[in-house]
Amino acid sequence: DNGWEALYLVTDEGTGLCAGHAETEAMSEVLRQSDTYHAIAHQLGKWINRLEAAAYKAIGTEDKCERKLDSAKSDRVQEKCWEAYERAAEAAAKAIRLYEEFCYLYRCLVRELDVFDANGNLRDRQQAEEQIEAGLTLIENLGHSNITKAVSKIRRVLPDLLHYLDIAKGIVEACKELCPDQEALKAFCIAWQKGKAAIKAKQADRKKRAAEQEQFYR
């Protein structure tokens, strides 16, 4: 009514927002991009700290059992403490392994959301989607029920998760016409991505490193 035209819509998966997009006459034909933060980082990222805390707790329990074993005097008490220590050591090893494997898979998954690869080439949407699907399957195989539920939520939004790569493809093609030096264009694409990383970084050292890389490629 006020002369504004919607070209591209980005939302999380809120029921009202999704329904509004589908039912509003002015918006129903507009491409809707699911918010990648809420889709992946919000669903899975929180588990990094939770699994780390669980691993440290298990390590503490193992250490406590080991100290009890060292102080045990009688054979009966030693045997009981040894059994408790073995259980605690096994639980700690399992918790550490779960934390390390999840962190690795999560970081691989997040990298698939990058617009450009390390050489400044535009990422292929189909390939990125396939890699994300493979990563989700590996995360499911870790056998953590609550994380598996989060994976199911991500799978539901995956078809709407990578529209931005299609949008970026048109923009890159237009930039190629403006910049005849393709290597320079790739460097600029990397700089743009590093700049985005600097904006999003929460930790000061990561923010500083990304900003320095942005300036290097510029």
Tens digit of each residue's pLDDT (9 = 90 or more) over 156-213: 889 889 999 999 999 999 998 888 898 999 999 999 999 999 998 888 998 999 899 9
How would you class 161 by CB atoms within 10 Å of its CB: exposed for 0-12, middle for 13-18, buried for 19 or more?
buried
Q: What is the mean pLDDT of the chain?
A: 89
The two beta strands, 32-34 and 9-11, are: parallel
Residue 104 φ then ψ, to 5°: -60, -50
| Per-residue confidence (pLDDT) for residue 3, from 0 to 100 | 82
Decide: 88 and 59 in contact? Cβ < 8 Å. Answer: no
Give the largest Cα separation in the chain, rounded: 86
Tell whether pTM > 0.85: no
Per-residue pLDDT, 25: 66
User: In this model, does residue 13 exceed pLDDT 80?
Assistant: no
| 151 alpha carbon, distance to own chain's centre | 11
User: Distance between CA atoms of 97 and 55, rounded to whole angstroms?
Assistant: 9
pLDDT of residue 22: 72
